[in-house]
Chain A
Amino acid sequence: MINRNLFAREWKSNAAALLIWTLIITLLITLTMSVYRVFLENNTKILAMISILPKGALQFKGISSVDALFSVLGFYSANNVIYMLVLGSIYSIVLSSGILLREEYNKTAEFLLSWPLDRGEVFISKATVVFLNIFLLNLITSLAGLVSMIIVKKEAFSVNAFLILTLYTFLLNLLFATVGLLMSAMVKKPRPITTLSIGLVLILYFIFTFSKITESVSKIGYLTPFRYVNLDTLNPSYRLEPWNLLYFIGLSLLMTAIAYRLYRRKDIYV
């Protein structure tokens, strides 16, 4: 069902964006990890600073205790939330929401859909490019994180916990990619929805942080997919929760299926 011609074209036209986003996130991760040693050396001052923060300020970074910040994995997971979870999700949703819709607002859909392709092939070829790009972004940036941690660590850390965190991140990015596909299949007017897509990720992240900081509204956190990413990597019982896994995979499959169905019957206005 993948059309190789279309896949190759999409792969090529999105390669530059993948490269730029991967470089930026890799750079941010390695720069952050490069200050880990300095962080350890100034632990007294930092502890004093952190002690004045509300409890929730650490919780939304998945840190259950201040001590966790001083382990290399705890430091990595706390600081890379923004880079991998938020920036990675923004990349994913922007890529996926544009890949179908761009053909419409650039008016190239009139060419593409007049060639011998069915809508299903168009959707699957483009969605495969999205998923592959997200996989590569996660693979490269995670490898950069792993290598950085190995270089700056003072004590051993759990590679298993790191891999679980990486998988959670990938699943979250993938989920946002399917949201983007669904949005682009639903949009009737051919215009970019980049702002809307980025806004959605930021709003959901804001709801997540708000729910962590404010105990009285903690339940609204369940509305956002960030809530289902377990960042508490230092917890001895840290593992891939089956319900969380089901949530990400189930929701991603459901949204992809709905987007596929809608796109096959979508009126393409150019």
Chain B
Amino acid sequence: MNTPVIDITDITKHYGKARGVDHISLQVNEGEIFGFIGPNGAGKSTTIRILLNLIFPDSGNARLMGMDVISDAKKIKRFTGYIPSDASAYPSMEVNDFLNYCLRYYSTENGTKRLKELSELFEVDLKRKIADLSLGNRKKVSIIQSLLHNPKLLIVDEPTMGLDPLMQSRFFDVLRSENQNGMTIFFSSHILSDIQALCRRVAIIREGRIIKVEEIEALRKRQLKKVHLQFENRPEKESFRIEGMEQIIQSADNSISFMYSGGINELIVTCTHTRLTDMTVEEPSLEEIFMHYYQ
């Protein structure tokens, strides 16, 4: 069995009394585009910063490509690219100087050629000062610097922020192409459509804990149903409750909507005790499935 490219074991990190991440474990295999999704403040950036040795875990350990993120940090970074969420490169530098400065940290063949190719692809003006660039253009510079040395592992944190739809699509094409050439991608975002467009497997993080690691397709096929019941008379409060009901919304028009993860027979039996005028059971959207885990 191959060693996972990312192997996080029971990592905890607190910022004083505030929670960062709490006993998280996660494995990402070679060649995957792995989604890491969660609401703001869930612990996504904390996890990434531990992987990049920007911060130190309180307990647990993490390995990238079989190497320890603390003791082998320098070696790991030769094979890792990173796109930070905040694309604040050195403002006084010209784009070309910045990218060449970055390139000099790696012993990469054809680095200059790759720099030229990527800057043309992303339509970046190499002569401009970084301070004069818009957020989207700074993001593009950040993307280019992460790919210059052909990393084996690419870690991205909210990479589409500031990119226009055309550039976003171009960026995704680059990621797919690099992935086909063997690059493993760890894609952290709170934007579900980004994750859905690229990833096959996803980890959902909430309040510092990983609550689900699953294939996107499997998430879709889960038993979770979206149920809408329309009653003849307004149901009494708490009178209609079955195990597996979540996100219950009671409306003024005598209806109840909810997400349901219980057995369908139990639902029907319960419904027979009431007078319904309408009933719909449908597949929830992926967005709704994620909300189910978020809340």
Interface residues of A (CB under 8 A from B): 5, 9, 13, 106-111, 113-119, 121, 265, 267-270
- Please give me the residue from chain B that is nearest to A121 by CB atom: B74
Cβ contacts under 8 Å, B78 to chain A: 116
Q: A5-B104, A117-B74, A117-B77 are in contact. Are A106 and B55 (CB under 8 A)?
A: no
Give the docked Cα–Cα distance between A29 and B106 (Å).
46
Restricting to B87-135, which residues have a CB under 8 Å from any CB of A? 88-92, 101-102, 104-106
Give the docked Cα–Cα distance between A267 and B45 (Å).
13
B213 at the interface (CB under 8 A from A): no
B289 at the interface (CB under 8 A from A): no
CB distance from A191 to the nearest CB of B (A): 15
A267 contact from B54, B81, B84, B104, Cβ within 8 A = B54
Cβ contacts under 8 Å, A13 to chain B: 92
Cβ contacts under 8 Å, A117 to chain B: 74, 77, 105
Interface residues of B, CB < 8 Å — how many? 28
- Please give me the residue from chain A that is nearest to B142 by CB atom: A111
Give the docked Cα–Cα distance between A117 and B106 (Å).
10
A-B contact pairs, 13 of them (CB 8 A): A5-B101, A9-B101, A13-B92, A106-B88, A109-B54, A110-B52, A110-B86, A114-B84, A116-B75, A116-B77, A121-B74, A267-B56, A270-B84
B73 at the interface (CB under 8 A from A): yes
Give the docked Cα–Cα distance between A114 and B92 (Å).
20
Once the chains bind, are A114 and B82 in contact (CB under 8 Å)? yes
Cβ contacts under 8 Å, B52 to chain A: 110, 113-114
Once the chains bind, are A111 and B55 in contact (CB under 8 Å)? no
Closest 4 CB pairs of A and B: A107-B88, A114-B82, A110-B84, A267-B55
Q: A9-B101, A109-B54, A267-B55 are in contact. Are A118 and B74 (CB under 8 A)?
A: yes
B188 at the interface (CB under 8 A from A): no
B47 at the interface (CB under 8 A from A): no
- Please give me the residue from chain B that is nearest to A115 by CB atom: B105
Give the docked Cα–Cα distance between A110 and B77 (Å).
12
Q: A110-B82, A110-B84, A265-B56 are in contact. Are A115 and B102 (CB under 8 A)?
A: yes
Cβ contacts under 8 Å, B61 to chain A: none
Once the chains bind, are A111 and B102 in contact (CB under 8 Å)? yes
- Please give me the residue from chain B that is nearest to A108 by CB atom: B90
CB distance from B288 to the nearest CB of A (A): 34
- Please give me the residue from chain B that is nearest to A109 by CB atom: B54
Cβ contacts under 8 Å, B82 to chain A: 110-111, 114
Cβ contacts under 8 Å, B91 to chain A: 106
Given contacts A106-B90, A111-B142, 10 further A-B contacts (CB under 8 A): A110-B52, A110-B54, A110-B86, A111-B145, A116-B74, A117-B74, A117-B105, A267-B56, A269-B55, A270-B54
Once the chains bind, are B74 and A270 in contact (CB under 8 Å)? no
CB distance from B57 to the nearest CB of A (A): 10
Give the docked Cα–Cα distance between A115 and B77 (Å).
6
Contact with A along B65-81 (1 / 0, CB 8 A): 00000000111011011
Cβ contacts under 8 Å, A115 to chain B: 77, 102, 105-106
CB distance from A269 to the nearest CB of B (A): 7
B179 at the interface (CB under 8 A from A): no
Give the docked Cα–Cα distance between A269 and B84 (Å).
13
Once the chains bind, are B105 and A5 in contact (CB under 8 Å)? yes
Give the docked Cα–Cα distance between A13 and B104 (Å).
17
Give the docked Cα–Cα distance between A269 and B91 (Å).
19
Give the docked Cα–Cα distance between A110 and B52 (Å).
9
Once the chains bind, are A114 and B56 in contact (CB under 8 Å)? no
B29 at the interface (CB under 8 A from A): no
Once the chains bind, are A111 and B56 in contact (CB under 8 Å)? no
Cβ contacts under 8 Å, B150 to chain A: none
Cβ contacts under 8 Å, B53 to chain A: 113
Cβ contacts under 8 Å, A116 to chain B: 74-75, 77-78, 105-106
Cβ contacts under 8 Å, B80 to chain A: 114
Give the docked Cα–Cα distance between A270 and B106 (Å).
24
Restricting to B22-59, which residues have a CB under 8 Å from any CB of A? 49, 52-56
Cβ contacts under 8 Å, A267 to chain B: 54-56
Give the docked Cα–Cα distance between A111 and B80 (Å).
12
Give the docked Cα–Cα distance between A64 and B74 (Å).
56
- Please give me the residue from chain A that is nearest to B157 by CB atom: A110
- Please give me the residue from chain B that is nearest to A114 by CB atom: B82
- Please give me the residue from chain B that is nearest to A6 by CB atom: B105
Give the docked Cα–Cα distance between A110 and B81 (Å).
11
- Please give me the residue from chain B that is nearest to A120 by CB atom: B74
Give the docked Cα–Cα distance between A269 and B52 (Å).
12
Give the docked Cα–Cα distance between A270 and B157 (Å).
13
Cβ contacts under 8 Å, A118 to chain B: 73-74
- Please give me the residue from chain B that is nearest to A9 by CB atom: B101
Once the chains bind, are A108 and B88 in contact (CB under 8 Å)? yes
CB distance from A76 to the nearest CB of B (A): 38
Cβ contacts under 8 Å, B73 to chain A: 118-119
Cβ contacts under 8 Å, A109 to chain B: 54
Contact with A along B250-291 (1 / 0, CB 8 A): 000000000000000000000000000000000000000000
